[in-house]
């Protein structure tokens, strides 16, 4: 099994980083307008409404959301939610070089003249391929149907479940009720997981499990690693828990990149602990099935 590990810092070389940012922004007027609205002043996190209000021209709200997600995926901005609203924060490097980035947009010929490390040193190694024989790792990807604690979902078809969306706190408390976890888990900036428990039942035995809940999410937006946590490292922090099972839940579709990351981290965890590692994703359809199968547990959630 091969895993690719990046070894290049996106801001390690100034000129190369500027070139990368300008290319990401591309020729899209919408993306540039959203970018300039994000970096047009103020230090506090900006919500979608804040960005819309700073635009030089009217852009459909969903288009603004899509552009913000793209900028976040490429780490030109970071997530910094304000209460129940999604919000975004400026990147320090991009903020410090905003004027230079805009100048390159207005002068594409100047951008071509940038002499970057990549252009001058074509043999630079950008990634290392680490090969781990399968025999050294024991991992399994599960569906929610395979976990005994959620056995009732086996009787609920996806077409019968309403994709309505619960808040992150409400869904977490519903899951706590289902598995019989009485301990309180309050969110804070340095947390590794949203719920760590030893009360999940799998194949007739109690196991330890770590959950990451992502809430309702933006309409039609897929979950990607960059959208998980302020620094896009929530999955990595999740796998630092001393658990047997790692679960990511989201009320929308989950991108395959999340599964790939979880698989790679499961391999590394298994090799380091010499134990079997289980991982599972619960997308919007399976979230809805859980709620339908255990409606009473969500009605009594605090």
Q: How many domains does the chain have?
A: 2
Q: Quick one: pLDDT at residue 132?
A: 65
C-alpha 64/C-alpha 47 separation (Å) is: 11
Same domain? 270 vs 160: yes
The CATH number of whichever domain residue 60 belongs to comes to 1.10.10.10
Contacts 24+ apart (CB under 8 A), 190-197: 191/237, 192/237, 192/238, 192/240, 192/241, 193/237, 193/238, 193/241, 193/243, 194/168, 196/241, 196/243
Q: Quick one: pLDDT at residue 296?
A: 92
Q: Quick one: pLDDT at residue 197?
A: 95
Q: Could you read off the pLDDT of 242-261 as tens digits, one per residue?
A: 999 999 999 889 999 999 99
Q: Quick one: pLDDT at residue 258?
A: 94
Same domain? 160 vs 295: yes
Same domain? 148 vs 294: yes
Same domain? 110 vs 149: no
Q: Is residue 189 part of a domain?
A: yes
Q: Is residue 142 part of a domain?
A: yes
Task: Examine the fold and report which residue of 120, 147, 165 is the final residue of a domain before the chain moves on.
Answer: 120
Range of the domain at 33: 2-120
Same domain? 141 vs 286: yes
Q: Which helix (H) or strand (E) holds 79?
A: strand 77-79
Answer whether 222's CB lies under 8 Å from 267's CB: no
Q: Quick one: pLDDT at residue 294?
A: 94
Does residue 217 carry a pLDDT above 90? no
Same domain? 40 vs 109: yes
**Residue 50, phi-psi category: left (phi > 0), alpha (psi -120 to 50), beta (remainder):** alpha
Residue 247 pairs in a beta bridge with 211, 280
Task: Examine the fold and report which residue of 94, 120, 146 is the final residue of a domain before the chain moves on.
Answer: 120
Q: Is residue 125 part of a domain?
A: no
C-alpha 243/C-alpha 163 separation (Å) is: 29
Does residue 9 carry a pLDDT above 50? no
List the one residue out of 276, 283, 183 whose CA is nearest residue 223.
Answer: 283
Q: Quick one: pLDDT at residue 42?
A: 74
Q: Quick one: pLDDT at residue 13?
A: 65
Q: Is residue 129 part of a domain?
A: no
Q: Quick one: pLDDT at residue 269?
A: 92
């Amino acid at each position: 099994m091969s895993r690719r590990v990046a070894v290049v810092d996106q801001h390690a070389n100034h000129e190369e980083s500027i070139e990368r940012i300008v290319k990401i922004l591309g020729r899209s007027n919408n993306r540039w307008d959203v970018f300039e609205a994000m970096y047009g002043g103020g230090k506090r996190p900006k919500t979608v409404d804040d960005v819309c209000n700073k635009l030089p021209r009217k852009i459909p709200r969903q288009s603004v959301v899509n552009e913000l997600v793209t900028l976040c995926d490429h780490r030109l901005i970071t997530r910094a939610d304000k209460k129940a609203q999604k919000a975004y924060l400026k990147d320090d490097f991009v903020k410090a070089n905003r004027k230079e980035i805009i100048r390159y947009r207005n002068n594409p010929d100047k951008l071509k003249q940038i002499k970057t490390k990549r252009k001058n040193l074509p043999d630079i190694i950008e990634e290392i391929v680490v090969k781990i024989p399968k025999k050294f790792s024991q991992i399994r990807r599960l569906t929610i149907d395979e976990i005994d604690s959620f056995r009732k979902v086996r009787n609920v078809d996806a077409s019968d479940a309403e994709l309505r969306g619960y808040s992150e706190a409400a869904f977490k408390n519903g899951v706590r009720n289902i598995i019989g976890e009485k301990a309180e888990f309050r969110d804070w900036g340095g947390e590794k997981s949203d719920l760590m428990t030893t009360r999940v039942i799998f194949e007739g035995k109690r196991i330890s499990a770590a959950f990451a809940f992502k809430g309702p999410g933006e309409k039609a937006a897929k979950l990607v690693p960059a959208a998980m946590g302020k620094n896009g490292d929530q999955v990595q922090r999740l796998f630092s828990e001393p658990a047997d099972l790692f679960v990511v839940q989201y009320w929308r579709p989950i991108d395959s990149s999340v599964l790939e990351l979880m698989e790679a981290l499961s391999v590394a965890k298994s090799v380091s602990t010499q134990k079997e590692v289980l991982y599972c994703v619960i997308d919007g359809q399976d979230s809805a099935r859980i709620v339908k199968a255990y409606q009473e547990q969500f009605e009594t959630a605090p």
